[in-house]
Structure 1
């Protein structure tokens, strides 16, 4: 299939085949795709929590408003943001740049100082909002990769973040959940798989100048 055909193929899977699991190779592809997501400044203030344990996920159904996808899927991907974003993140980022590219300090230091100033000047609520937007970019990237790899997925905002954070012990890692993405393979009797996509015509959504 072409990329457009694969995007037509994908849908928000409502019912997963509980007997099918992602291979380690497929799971690694999703982890790598998350890590390669294009993010603001290249500063990775996100974490991906991969939950495979069915018992753990069974406890998350209630905090996901009864949506069984969180446990019936092969794995549950939890997209999280850091609760603290500060100059230490900038220092680590530039240390990584230097280690990988061997870029001299005199080239990096001006950009490093500018980034520190920007981060330090952000109030906490703005940092959280900024990081959350990055999580949505990562979600879109993951969903596209899932389509290419013919992995089914279901993006979810409908859950109780504070309760899920507590259930997974995310606070101890300095993280806050933002989005969920159950991944796996659709059940044969998921009627939503055969629904035609409802989208506007290109002429209504594209403006060419």
Structure 2
């Protein structure tokens, strides 16, 4: 399938059949997330990859008992950094210098720009910015899953504070933003599986000027 055929094929599966997604497909989806664009390349988020069935059973009630949590093969939790700290920026600059084989001094202006932006914002503003960056990776994951013929259900219907406590995210400097179960659709028990995809008309969605 080409990308448009893959996106036509995908939908937000309401029920999954419990079959495991191969490690190769999961790795491809995760690599697409890693390669996703991010403002200034900072990628201020972490993605938890949860396969453990007992842990997903604990997550189920804080995720509005949505069955895909336990019926999926893997559950991705997109968690944004709670704040953008000088330590985050220092690590990023060191990593960039190492990857590009250049002295850190050549990145001094870039580093100072990052520090100034982070320090001029409140913690909540930094978190909201980080969450928006996480959503870019989240969207990339949806497309990557479709290209692998893996079903993925975007979820916001969960108690983020309760999930953060369950996963000890506060101690990691993270706050959960959105969830993405990965698996295979149970078409026989999913009321949405056989319905046509509904999207806004092109002439209403796009404005040419």
TM-score normalised by length of structure 1: 0.95
Pairs within 5 Å for 1:47-86: 47-86=46-85
CA RMSD after TM alignment: 1.2
Give 5+ residue unaligned stretches, structure 2. none
Q: Which residue of 2 aligns with 1:29?
A: 28
Give 5+ residue unaligned stretches, structure 1. none
- SS of the equivalent of 2:176 reads strand
Stretch deviating more after TM superposition (160-169 or 150-159): 160-169
Q: Which residue of 1 aligns with 2:206?
A: 206
Structure 1: distance between partners of 2:78 and 2:125: 18
Structure 1: distance between partners of 2:150 and 2:176: 22
- Residue 104 of structure 1 pairs with residue 103 of structure 2: yes
- SS of the equivalent of 2:59 reads coil
- Structure 1 residue 171: deviation in Å? 2.0
Pairs within 5 Å for 1:60-209: 60-189=59-188, 190-209=190-209
> Does the 8 Å CA contact 2:21/2:73 hold for their aligned counterparts?
yes
After superposing on structure 2, the runs of 4+ consecutive aligned residues of structure 1 that deviate more than 4 Å are: none
1:29-60 deviations in whole A, cap 9, x for unaligned? 12211111111110121000011011111111
- SS of the equivalent of 2:77 reads strand
Paired residues, number: 208
- SS of the equivalent of 2:192 reads helix
- Structure 1 residue 103: deviation in Å? 2.5
